[in-house]
A = this chain, B = another copy of it.
């Protein structure tokens, strides 16, 4: 490890990363500059760790995103996973593949974005491996801590629990579709494009939910709401009913979706990359409105956990089918475009 060595002579980069790591507060005893990083996990805490990879022309294209946004996103998607476990971020490692032609401005932009996100979320970069690669890829491993035995799992939902979700859903999928359609920077679509380029997980919320004691399960909405709630249902051995009329859509979604020939609700249910938090809470927990006020984050109740299997979509109490599929890692839009 500790190979932030892009050929000889690039010690400026290593030095910059070291300064970033050196400034980092937190429990790290050794960061960039050794074979590995050393972390003191505070007593009474557990380590929570996750990895996510973003690959050029599969998860993103430089035609539709800039390197700096990508750097921020590479960390954000991992912070989203940590939040879904109820963990507080403490640091990250980066494995970065960089094509020769991208070793200049693109690399600098990516690192600037990542380091800015790391500072903002108090999740310092503590090491990594930067390698030459035919395509640009970034694999971030993030570390967090959670009070012992209090991490939020996918497996804790019980019949009778309420199902809640933060923010709004579908903006990222619509933003991506807008970019892919080549429609350019229309003002009313800008917020959607931004949501796609740099997701904004509800930082810090997961850890606060974990401390409550009445939140039973959580997952980040990365593969699409229905697919992700399906993971919770399967891991918990329960069924989940979603009232589609309650699913929160972003302002202006209907207009953007219509222009793209898409359905805003289908994008919200199946679109993916929202990086909002879906969670289950006991019946005795405060209402969504009350939680929302207490925690300073928009929260909506969208369904119930019951005995059974799978996820059902309901409208006015009747089962409905709303077509669309969650994120399939081998059918990314960029890849699809080649076919």
Residues of A near any B CB (own CB < 8 A): 1-3, 5-8, 29-30, 33-41, 43, 46-53, 55-59, 78, 81-82, 84-85, 87, 93-97, 100, 103, 127-135, 137, 139, 141, 143-144, 146, 148-149, 151, 153-155, 218-220, 223, 231, 235, 328-332, 335
Contact = CB atoms under 8 A, between A and B. Distances in A.
A154 B33 contact: yes
B330 A85 contact: no
Contacts of A218: 35
A280 to B, nearest CB: 14
Number of copies: 2
Given A7-B331, A235-B33, A58 B139 contact: no
Contact of A7 (B43, B235, B329): B329
A41 B34 contact: no
A3 B85 CA distance: 15
Contact of A35 (B128, B134, B220): B220
Given A34-B85, A38-B46, A49-B37, A135 B134 contact: yes
Given A36-B82, A40-B148, A93 B51 contact: yes
Contacts of A154: 33-35
A25 to B, nearest CB: 17
Given A93-B141, A144-B36, A155-B34, A133 B132 contact: no
